[in-house]
Amino acid sequence: MSGILRFGDPAALPDPEAVIFDLDGTLVDTIPARVRAWVEAMESAGIAADARLAGLMMGRDGRHAARALFAAAGREATDAEVEQVDAEAGERFARYNVAPSLLPGVGPLVQALAAGDRLRWSIGTSSRRASIDASIRALGLAVPPPVTDGTHVAEAKPAPDLLLRAAADLGVAPARCWYVGDATWDMIASRAAGMTPVAVETGAADTEMLVREGAAVVWVMMDGVHEELARRGLVRGR
C-alpha cells in the first residue's frame, strides 16, 4: 500500500542530508510490549497506570514518563521511585520484546538506506541500549545503523539533546536532518533541535496531536517517507 498522506506538503520539505529515526512505534512494532512493561512496573510501585496514557508517554525520557504517570495517579514520585520504575519498565520490556516485528513499509526502506550512499541515517531513541537489542536485530541488516540512545545524554526527548547528539554522531548539521517519529515527544524534540519533524501515524498519537506539536508532514505509515526520499533520488524506490 502506498503511503497515505494525512497532513502537509512533502514537496515543501527541505532536502535532507541525513534522516534520523525513532525506534519504538516508528520502525518496530513494540508499543504494546512497552505499554505492558510500564503498566506492570507502575503496579509494582503501587500505582494503577492507565494503559492509554502510558502509550502516549512512549518515546519520552523514561524518568519524565514515570513522573507523569505518578502525577496522573495523584502522587508525587521520589527520585528513587522514578529510577526504580524506569529501570524495571526497561527490564520487563527486554523480556517481552523477544521477536518484534517491523512496522509496515519499514523493511524496504531500511534495506534501501543500507544499500545507498546518498543519505546518512541513524536511530535516535530515548530507550536505554540494553532494552533495544532485539529491535535493532529485527531490522535484518548485516551492518546495523548507528544508534544514539537515552544513555548518551542527561535528558532524552522531548529535550533536543538526544537528537543533537545523533546529528553530531553523523557529522551532519541538525538543520540538514529529518527526524522521523510516531510520538508527540518526537515532534517537540525535533523542532527544539532545529530538525524537520516528520511523523508516521503508527503509534499512540493521532494526526491532530502530531500536527499540534509541530509535525511538518504526517503519513499513515513509512511507505510515504520511502516514496518521498525515492522521488528525490536519495534512495532506491520500493
Could you list the active site residues?
A: 22
- Intrachain domains 5-30+100-231 and 31-96 with the same fold: no
- pLDDT classification of 139: cutoffs 50, 70, 90: very high
CA distance 102 to 182: 14
Domain ranges of the chain: 5-30+100-231, 31-96
* pLDDT score of 1 more than 70: no
Q: Which CATH architecture does the domain made up of 5-30+100-231 adopt? A: 3-Layer(aba) Sandwich (3.40)
pLDDT tens per residue, range 198-222: 999 999 899 999 999 999 999 999 9
Region 125-138 average pLDDT: 88
pLDDT tens per residue, range 159-191: 999 999 999 999 999 999 999 999 999 999 999
* pLDDT score, position 2: 61
Region 40-66 average pLDDT: 89
31-96: CATH topology: DNA polymerase; domain 1 (1.10.150)
